[in-house]
Amino acid sequence: MLRHLPLLTLVVMIGPVLAGLWGALLPALGHLPGAGLTGPSFDAFRTLLAWPGLEQALRLSVTTGVLATALSLLIVVLVTAGWSGTRAFGALQRVLAPILSVPHAAAAFGLAFLIAPSGWLARLTSPWLTGWARPPDLLVIQDPAGLAMTAGLVTKEVPFLLLMTLAALGQVRQDQRLQTARTLGYDRVTGWLKCVFPAVYRQIRLPVYVVLAYSMSVVDVAMILGPTRPPSLSVQIVKWMGDPDLAMRLVAAAGALLQLVLVLLALGLWRLGEVGVARLGRNWLETGRRGRLDPALRLVGIGLGALSAAATLLALLGLAVWSAAGFWAFPDALPDAFTMRNWHRHGPGTLEAAAETFLVAGAATGLALVLVLGCLEAEHRSGRTLTTRGLWLLYLPLLVPQTAFLPGLQILLLSVGADVGRGPVILAHLVFVLPYVFLSLGDAWRAWDPRNAVVAGTLGAPPWRVFWQVRLPMLLRPILTAVAVGVAVSVGQYLPTLLIGGGRVATLTTEAVALASGGDRRAIGVYGLMQTLAALLPFALATLLPALVWRNRRGLHV
């Protein structure tokens, strides 16, 4: 049984992705027998290519994706290079998990309110500083270049990449490398870039690719912050999927494949960029320059890092204020009055959605945990470790854009007559929850001293007893953290819930994004806050529970 678990896990994780791509390929070629259409025909691609917004939509996907990824990576590198091991870095590390768990949609709403011409920043500085009695007519949100959307992505991707970098630092013996560089007269940032970064980047390359693929095809953030004339390709695909005209479904499928190709091309381009940067880097290494700009770079790094963290925290605060706001006119810094009316109105609805959210998240995370623990235990017992190829497979569902395979998966599910609803949504969430749970738990699991298992075994404990009585309790903290990561990932899922749930599965995220179209900031405040709490609560429990359970066991304190 345990031996077959890795294969089962692979099927559960990769199966829907491949099925979804297959399900997009046939309709894209004009083949949708259910609708009486038999291919092959290139009409769908022809319609796609004739869409007047195509060029801009493609450009938007590439520029926002690449810019968001490059900027996030830059911030993470500068912050880590300049500050790792310092007290400021520790502070940043502590707010990392909560910021990371803020769902993309909630962060995007909050940011939208923060930076809009009538947003909080403008209100706080008007009219005494800006002289604005009315909001200026400036195109900040929905700007055609997608800068607002890029900013929204960066605030969320920085914490993700930072977390991945922290995990990598432990494996590359940063301190030794850095110390060596510094004794040779290199300043902090330059020393780090020259001696630590190459090794770190090798470790975080896949997460960077994930960020690129995600940023290029994101839907919820693009719907909230992105331009609309035209929107990015992924948003347009979702719109086509929702068109009552059946032929548009074929165009959506063709668009899905185009999105996939686009992401693959961008990944290829990025890879080329890596080679180029590596070559430049090697030349730079040989120059022997010690880093005159380091103090400035350090300041830029911590500035950008703090700005990105502060933006998220302020955005959340903005949501909180709106959720309790009475009438609030521009340019007042705060509402005329605070009221519980919004919570009375929307509270019950959010509780219902929260129940659905936790049901789906709990089931998906529970399944993921069983599969991941099973795989890790199988790995431990067989002594086989995860190969590089295995790691790629693990990342595959995160590298294939959601808009590339979910439309096809929906078409496929419907054409085989599978009922839509909670069950399929849980399985669709599992595709994304599994890799994150695996990645979150894998390192801690492997870092566990195997001599514990040897000792327990020689004391007469069979493998399952070692697993339940020794390994699981000792790894309670990382396991709960992995659960929290899984729940946060599930809570944040918009597109799988929308497309695979057929509208019947209303989670906090789908409700919040639906409300966003109505622009009622009070309702969005309530839903966005609840959505964030739903993701944060498991992290809080993951921190509190082990401390409570092991309060008398100093060896398990962190």
Element (H, E) at 419: none
Longest dimension (CA), the chain: 78
Q: CA-to-CA distance for 167 and 161, rounded, in angstroms? A: 10
Q: Which of 411, 426, 437, 488 binds other proteins (CB under 8 A)?
A: 411
Question: What residues numbered 97-126 form the site for other proteins, per CB under 8 A?
Answer: 116-118
User: By rule CB under 8 A, what count of residues binds other proteins?
Assistant: 95
CB of 547 to other proteins, least distance (A): 13
Task: State the Cα angle at 404 between 400 and 406, rounded to 5°.
Answer: 100
The answer to whether 453 contacts other proteins (rule: CB under 8 A) is: yes
Tokens of 558: 């962190």
The answer to whether 382 contacts other proteins (rule: CB under 8 A) is: yes
Q: Which of 131, 275, 519, 548 binds other proteins (CB under 8 A)?
A: 519
Q: Which is nearer to other proteins, 443 or 520 (CB)?
A: 520
Question: What residues numbered 470-489 form the site for other proteins, per CB under 8 A?
Answer: 470, 473-474, 476
Q: Which is nearer to other proteins, 171 or 469 (CB)?
A: 469
Q: What is the 3-state secondary structure (H, E, C) of 449-491?
A: CCHHHHHHHHCCCCHHHHHHHHHHHHCHHHHHHHHHHHHHHHH
The answer to whether 458 contacts other proteins (rule: CB under 8 A) is: yes
Q: Which of 3, 134, 173, 289 binds other proteins (CB under 8 A)?
A: 134
Q: Which is nearer to other proteins, 486 or 492 (CB)?
A: 492
Q: Which of 341, 392, 446, 545 binds other proteins (CB under 8 A)?
A: 341
Question: What residues numbered 269-288 form the site for other proteins, per CB under 8 A?
Answer: none
Place of tokens 């595709």: 431
188 closest CA partner among 270, 285, 99, 298: 298
Q: Is cis: bond before 40, omega within 30 of 0?
A: yes
Q: Which of 39, 53, 362, 423 binds other proteins (CB under 8 A)?
A: 53
Question: What residues numbered 8-27 form the site for other proteins, per CB under 8 A?
Answer: none
Residues in contact with 366: Cβ distance below 8 Å, sequence separation at least 6, in sequence order: none
Q: Which is nearer to other proteins, 49 or 514 (CB)?
A: 514
Question: What residues numbered 149-178 form the site for other proteins, per CB under 8 A?
Answer: none
The answer to whether 446 contacts other proteins (rule: CB under 8 A) is: no
The answer to whether 256 contacts other proteins (rule: CB under 8 A) is: no
The answer to whether 130 contacts other proteins (rule: CB under 8 A) is: no
- HSE-up (13 A, CA, CB side) for residue 417: 0
516 closest CA partner among 220, 239, 115, 234: 220
Q: Which of 130, 203, 415, 543 binds other proteins (CB under 8 A)?
A: 415
Question: What residues numbered 207-236 form the site for other proteins, per CB under 8 A?
Answer: 227-230
Q: Which of 43, 182, 264, 328 binds other proteins (CB under 8 A)?
A: 328
- Burial category of 27 from C-beta neighbours within 10 Å (exposed 0-12, middle 13-18, buried 19 and up): buried
CB of 445 to other proteins, least distance (A): 16
The answer to whether 46 contacts other proteins (rule: CB under 8 A) is: no
Cβ density class 505-537: b for 16+ within 10 Å, e for less: bbbbbbbbbebbeeeebbbbbbbbbbbbbbbbb
Q: Which is nearer to other proteins, 177 or 380 (CB)?
A: 380
Residue 425: alpha-carbon gap to chain centroid: 18
Choose the binding region for other proteins from 182-190, 201-209, 244-252, 529-537 (rule: CB under 8 A). Answer: 244-252
Cβ(255)–Cβ(48) under 8 Å? yes
Q: Which of 81, 106, 141, 257 binds other proteins (CB under 8 A)?
A: 141
Question: Which region holds residue 519: left if phi is over 0, alpha if psi is between -120 and 50, else beta?
Answer: left
Q: 3-class SS at 338?
A: strand
CB of 70 to other proteins, least distance (A): 24
CB of 57 to other proteins, least distance (A): 9
The answer to whether 131 contacts other proteins (rule: CB under 8 A) is: no
DSSP 275-314: HHHHHHHHHHHHHT---SSHHHHHHHHHHHHHHHHHHHHH
Choose the binding region for other proteins from 93-101, 213-221, 259-267, 463-471 (rule: CB under 8 A). Answer: 463-471
Q: Which of 131, 383, 387, 389 binds other proteins (CB under 8 A)?
A: 383
Q: Which of 521, 530, 531, 534 binds other proteins (CB under 8 A)?
A: 521
